[in-house]
Structure 1
Amino acid sequence: MDPDLALLLNGVVSGLLLGGLYAAAAAGLSISFGMLDVVNIAHPAFMVLGALIVALLWAATGLDPLLLSILLAPAFWALGAGLYVIYHHFFERRGDEAIQGLAFFFGVMFIVEVGLVLAVGPEQHFVDAAYAATTWRLGEIDVPLRMLVPATVALAAIGALALFLRHSFTGRAIAAVAQDRDALRLLAIDPIRIKRLAFGISLAFAGLAGGALVVVQPVDAWSGHVFIGRVFAIVIMGGLSSLGGCVLAALAFGVVENVTASFFGPSWSPAVAFGCLLLVLAVRPQGLFGRMA
């Protein structure tokens, strides 16, 4: 096989696997930002919090890190629900969710990051999962299980979330809460309770993404900064509240970044990826799967 073609195919495969990680990180934000209109800038910081907790628990128990992240999901849900109660009480119910609410989540982000530095130190943490050193070779294409397993678990979780949102009464209420709150009240549904539940799900996915992240790469307290721009770009490119669009945009983002890094160097990959975002928004301002207003 031509070396350039082999490099391209490996870049595409690795990019798709990287996109699975991006999808896990962006799915929770698609709920809070796209469906609830809550600009949680601290979302990647909670992902890092999940990654570091998983790393510590893995060192203590030896359990699979992805299993640990699933077991931690209820705790992250409770954390998200409690955080939304604070946000709603002090900002949303007074109509201050725009600038003041954004500043609130900036503060939360720095509190989480500084708290992690104080608790576990500034050094990097990594999980050596049982399958991390295994690579499947399909002809000239390498498929590292270190990336395949987290991507598969993440996409399966997103699929389960999509089924919940589409086919359950509560899921449909979550999808509708930002569009017509008064209509929910007419159906005797408390929109604040629905938003509290949904924000908890958003942070549960941040914890799940953290478990996937720490399998793929070393993580320190400041690692969330790398993902802030990426996850917001993916959610916007995918159409804000569309989980399918979020996944497609994440996969495309991962492929563009990885292929660019393979051929032109890693310094070019963010510029090209965000250039693609601008191109998509120029053609479809509502995103790939967004609906026209």
Structure 2
Amino acid sequence: MDPTVSLLLNGIVSGLLLGGLYAAAASGLAVSFGMLDIVNIAHPALMVAGGFAVILIGTALGLDPLLVAVLQAPVFYLLGTGIYRAYNHFFERRGDEALQGLAFFFGVMFIIEVGLVMLFGPEQRFLDPDYAFVTWRLGEIDVPLRMLAPALLAMAAIGALWLFLTRSFTGLAIAAVAQDPEALRLMAVDPVRIKRMAFGISVALAAVAGGALVVVQPIDPSSHHVFIGRVFAICIMGGMASLSGAVMAAFLFGVVENVTATFYGPSWSPAVAFGWLLLVLAVRPQGLFGRAA
């Protein structure tokens, strides 16, 4: 096989695996930002906090980091419901969720970052489970388990979220709450409770994504700055409230970014990836899977 073709195929495969990690992060944001219309700028910081929690628990108990990521999700769900309670009490119910609400999440983001620095220091941390050093070779294509296992966990979490949103009454209520909360009240459903549950789910997904992240790469308390633009761009590219769109956009973003880094260097990859975002929005302003107004 031609070396360039082999390099391209490996770049595409690695980009798809990286896209799985992006999809886990963006799926939670698709719930809070796309469905609830809450601009949670602290979402990537919560993801990094989930990664540090996995490092702390996994190191102390000797458990697999991906298992810890799943086990800690209920704790982060409760954390998310608590954050939403504060947001709703001080901002949303008074109609101040626009600028003041955004400032609130900026504050949450910086509190998380400073708290992580105080607890763990500014150094990078990571975990190396046994499979992190294993690479499957399929012909000319290398598939590192360090990236494959987190991507599979991400797809499983997204699949569970999709089933919940499409097959349960609560999931359907989450999809409807931002569009017509009054209709939910007529059905004896409290829209605030539904939004609180949905926001908790989005934070739980961020924690799972953080657990996957520490297997793929080292993290430090400021790592969330790298992901802010990416996860919001993926969410917008996919069509805001579209879960399938967020997944497809994450894969596209990961492939474009990784192939560009492979052939032209990592410094070009963000520019080209965000250029794809602008191209998609120029052709389809509503995103890949968004509905036209």
TM-score (norm 1): 0.99
Paired position in structure 1 for 2:83: 83
Number of residue pairs aligned between Structure 1 and Structure 2? 293
Instruction: Determine the C-alpha separation between the residues in 1 that align with 2:130 and 2:182.
Output: 51
Q: Deviations over 1:182-209 (max 9, x none)?
A: 1000100000000000000000000000
Q: Which residue of 2 aligns with 1:199?
A: 199
Helix, strand or coil: the match of 2:130? Answer: coil
Counterpart position of 2:248 = 248
Alignment of 1:131-210 (within 5 A): 131-210=131-210
Structure 1: 4+ residue segments shifted above 6 A: none
Aligned to 1:100: 100
* 1:269 has 2:292 as partner: no
Offset of residue 246 of structure 1: 0.4
Alpha-carbon distance in 1 for matches of 2:194, 2:167: 16
**Structure 2 residue matching 1:127: 3-state secondary structure:** coil
> What's 2:45 paired with?
45
1:152-201 superposed Cα distances (whole Å, 9 cap, x missing partner) = 11011101100110010000000000000110001000000000000000
Cα shift at 1:130: 1.7
Query: Which 5+ residue runs of structure 2 have no aligned equivalent?
Result: none
Distance in 2 (alpha carbons) for counterparts of 1:14 and 1:248: 15
Aligned to 2:225: 225
After superposition, what is the alpha-carbon deviation per residue over 1:68-103, rounded to whole angstroms, capped at 9, x for unaligned?
011100100000000000000000001110000000
Match of 1:70 in 2: 70
Aligned twin of 1:54: 54
Q: Deviations over 1:203-236 (max 9, x none)?
A: 0000000000000000110000000000000000
Q: Which amino acid aligns with 2:47?
A: M
1:90, 1:249 → 2: CA distance?
34
**Distance in 2 separating the partners of 1:175 and 1:239:** 14
Q: How much does 1:56 deviate?
A: 1.1
Corresponding residue number in structure 1 for 2:118: 118
Q: Which residue of 1 aligns with 2:127?
A: 127
Q: Cα offset for 1:62?
A: 1.0
CA distance in 2, matches of 1:203, 1:161: 13
Q: CA–CA distance in 2 between the matches of 1:158 and 1:261?
A: 27
For 1:18-37, what per-residue CA distance to the aligned partner results, in whole angstroms no more than 9, with x for missing partners?
00000011110000000000
Counterpart secondary structure, 1:142: strand
Residue 5 of structure 2 aligns with which residue? 5
TM-score by length of 2: 0.99
Match of 2:15?
15
Letter of the 1:269 counterpart: S
Q: 1:104-157 CA deviation, whole Å, 9 max, x = no partner? A: 000100000000000111111111112100000011110000000000110111
- Rounded to whole Å, the distance in 2 between the matches of 1:17 and 1:205 is 17
Q: Secondary structure at the match of 1:189?
A: coil
Instruction: Provide the secondary structure at the position in 2 that maps to 1:285.
Output: coil
Counterpart CA distance in 2 for 1:52 and 1:239 is: 30
Residue aligning to 1:290:
290
SS state of the match for residue 105, structure 1? helix
Overall identity of the aligned pairs, in %: 74
